[in-house]
Amino acid sequence: MKITDARVVVSSPGRNYVTLIIETEDGVTGIGDATLNGRELSVAAYLADHLCPLLIGRDARRIEDTWHYLYKGAYWRRGPVTMTAIAAVDVALWDIKAKAAGMPLYQLLGGAARDGVLVYGHASGTTLDDLSADFQRHLDLGYKAVRAQAAVPGLDKTYGIAGGSGTVYEPANGNRPQEDTWETTAYLDFAPVMMGHIRERFGYGVHLLHDVHHRLSPIEAGRLGAAVERYRPFWIEDPTPAEDQSAFRVIRDHTTTPIAVGEVFNSIWDCQQLITERLIDYIRTSVSHSGGITHLRRIFSLAELYGVRTGSHGAGDLSPAAMAAALHVDLTVPNFGIQEYMGHTGPVGEVFRTSYTFTDGYMHPGDAPGLGVEFDEDAAARYPYDPKYLPVNRRLDGTVHDW
């Protein structure tokens, strides 16, 4: 089954997505998501200039061989650009393999290990009352798990707050990064109050999650974890900058609050110590940013050995092709924990037609052959690339801080 064409489409139906399309000699086509928010064109160029020409003439069925050919063959291993590009190829080849087999992808991955995939949505507000209203909206939609973020008093902009009630949080905008402000003391005072407010209002029958977005030092994160233990969060996410794996030992030494990390990881090597030393509870690597289904399953298998569960990143800046791939993996791995689902808005549905479903807080990838996502290139052409950057974060004295 020879590959006859591989091409990249960058489109912006509300936000930028990079999509790889692979065609084979017998007419079976596969797609993969290659979106790296704020750095989209670097992956598009890596694919178009370096990987697509190498794919022509290769056997589309040899997924494992192609993965190593691209990973080891580059010599320059890992990193978000390389691993996102390899991921797109990998997912497109799995899509082709499953379509050729006439099966939904999850069947090829071993079949369903559960009936549905527990997902969490994002509630946010500029005040605690707004947050409560948005939290209630998620419960009304059927969510069994909700992430809560609220504006920190004294800071004019805080991570994770949607622009208006009922809208989805969108961090990237403008062709220069917007500048946010940060003050750790104010945040550390406020975060437990916010969680207490949610528990008082909604009780303990819903999973409560919170994202710290890499902003604390290890000892500050330990303090936060200890302060919120009584509110029984499902997890606190990305408490410290994720590249420092040993920092998580300090957090562990100070709290039993479950810790999740991994949306910025690109390979098993980024989380090897975190997993094997049992420093985290949930690994949040995504299909798109960590080498595709082939490599993600390897990470999840390592995690399974050490009692670490999965909790993949699923922000709106991962395309519906990535969301579908995540759901197929989630349905099949034994150590599944939870999946983020932020959803997609605006004209995204014109460009990507999906077969996944959301019912009462659980998702299912659907039973269409392959990934179950059709990419409409004509529709994509109506929404050209629109440069957008993620924000930069500064402390009140002007120092650049982790965003």
* Residues with a known catalytic role: 159, 213
Q: At residue 370, what are phi and psi to the nearest 5 degrees?
A: 80, -150
Nearer CB in complex with Mg ion: 36/48: 36
Nearer CB in complex with ligand GCO: 228/315: 315
402, 213 in Cβ contact below 8 A? Answer: yes
245, 274 in Cβ contact below 8 A? Answer: yes
For 332, residues 6+ apart whose C-beta sits below 8 A from its C-beta are 106, 109, 110, 111, 112, 113
For 220, residues 6+ apart whose C-beta sits below 8 A from its C-beta are 184, 188
Could you say which of ligand GCO, Mg ion, none residue 99 binds, taking C-beta under 5 to 8 angstroms by partner kind? none
Question: Which span (1-9, 178-186, 245-253, 312-320) binds ligand GCO, by CB under 6 A?
Answer: 312-320
Tabulate helix, strand, coil % of the chain (nearest 5): 40, 20, 40
Could you say which of ligand GCO, Mg ion, none residue 317 binds, taking C-beta under 5 to 8 angstroms by partner kind? ligand GCO
Could you say which of ligand GCO, Mg ion, none residue 270 binds, taking C-beta under 5 to 8 angstroms by partner kind? none
Among 125, 171, 262, 320, binds ligand GCO (CB under 6 A): 171
Residue whose token pair is 């983020």? 340
Among 95, 130, 211, 220, binds ligand GCO (CB under 6 A): 211
- Residue among 272, 275, 308, 268 at smallest CA distance from 289: 268
Nearer CB in complex with ligand GCO: 30/337: 337
Residue 32 Cβ vs Mg ion, minimum distance, rounded to whole Å:
22
Output the CA angle 40-336-112, nearest 5 degrees. 100
Cα 133 → chain centroid: 25
Among 48, 279, 293, 315, binds ligand GCO (CB under 6 A): 315
Could you say which of ligand GCO, Mg ion, none residue 130 binds, taking C-beta under 5 to 8 angstroms by partner kind? none
- Residues forming a β-bridge with 207: 145
122, 147 in Cβ contact below 8 A? Answer: yes
Nearer CB in complex with Mg ion: 177/347: 177
Nearer CB in complex with Mg ion: 130/211: 211
Could you say which of ligand GCO, Mg ion, none residue 315 binds, taking C-beta under 5 to 8 angstroms by partner kind? ligand GCO
Question: Restricting to residues 331-390, which ones interact with ligand GCO according to CB under 6 A?
Answer: 340, 390
32, 92 in Cβ contact below 8 A? Answer: yes
Could you say which of ligand GCO, Mg ion, none residue 37 binds, taking C-beta under 5 to 8 angstroms by partner kind? ligand GCO
Does the protein bind ligand GCO through residue 317 (CB under 6 A)? yes
Residue 17 Cβ vs ligand GCO, minimum distance, rounded to whole Å:
12
Does the protein bind ligand GCO through residue 263 (CB under 6 A)? yes
Distance between CA 13 and CA 192 in Å, rounded?
37
Question: Which span (113-121, 177-185, 309-317, 324-332) binds ligand GCO, by CB under 6 A?
Answer: 309-317
Question: Which span (15-23, 200-208, 310-318, 361-369) binds ligand GCO, by CB under 6 A?
Answer: 310-318
Nearer CB in complex with ligand GCO: 23/134: 134
Nearer CB in complex with Mg ion: 97/309: 309
Among 19, 24, 37, 285, binds ligand GCO (CB under 6 A): 37
**DSSP class of 168:** P
Distance between CA 97 and CA 91 in Å, rounded?
10
Q: How many residues bind ligand GCO (CB under 6 A)?
A: 10
Nearer CB in complex with ligand GCO: 369/391: 391
Residue 288 Cβ vs Mg ion, minimum distance, rounded to whole Å:
14
Residue 211 Cβ vs ligand GCO, minimum distance, rounded to whole Å:
5
Exposed e or buried b for every residue in 303-341, given b needs 16+ CB within 10 A? bbeeebbbbbbbbbbbbbbbbbbbbbbbbbbebbbbbbb
Distances (CA, A) of 119 to 276, 315, 395: 26, 12, 33
Neighbour count for residue 294 (Cβ, 10 Å): 21
Residue 188 Cβ vs ligand GCO, minimum distance, rounded to whole Å:
19
Residues that bind ligand GCO (CB under 6 A): 37, 171, 211, 213, 263, 313, 315, 317, 340, 390
